[in-house]
């Protein structure tokens, strides 16, 4: 059975170890499973919460999901849920139990 584990969004941010990094402040996205910085955006989607907790997160509003895949083979989502001017940010990974 596959379930989803939610992590703090800080678990996927890192100071880049690459001297070739051109990101502002050398901050990059890393894999929350193994720490690899070689990850790419795979997809983006918006899930409507219908103002009634239907988007699959703990809030009532919509959820924007950015899917990532790493060269390591791991996949994870950066999620941004919002409702009434507040935005929650978290990371979600699939866990096979």
Which sequence spans correspond to the domains of the chain?
A: 2-9+39-96
pTM for this prediction:
0.83
- Tell me what pLDDT residue 18 has: 59
Residues in the chain where the model's pLDDT stays below 50? none
Give the CB-side neighbour count of residue 93, counting CA atoms within 13 A: 18
Q: Is residue 56 within 8 Å of 36, Cβ to Cβ?
A: no
What integer pLDDT is reported at residue 21 of this predicted model? 56
**Confidence (pLDDT) at 34:** 93
Residue 29 half-sphere exposure toward CB, CA atoms < 13 A? 17
Cβ atoms of 92 and 3 closer than 8 Å? no
- CA count, 13 A, side-chain hemisphere, 96: 2
């Amino acid at each position: 059975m596959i379930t989803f584990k939610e992590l703090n969004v800080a678990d996927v941010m890192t100071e880049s170890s690459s001297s070739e990094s051109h990101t502002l402040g050398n901050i990059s996205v890393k894999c929350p499973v193994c720490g690899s910085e070689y990850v790419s955006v795979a997809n983006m989607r918006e899930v409507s919460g219908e103002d009634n907790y239907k988007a699959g997160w703990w809030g009532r509003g919509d959820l924007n999901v950015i899917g990532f895949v790493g060269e390591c083979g791991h996949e994870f989502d950066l999620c941004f849920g919002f409702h009434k001017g507040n935005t929650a940010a978290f990371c979600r990974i699939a866990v096979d139990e």
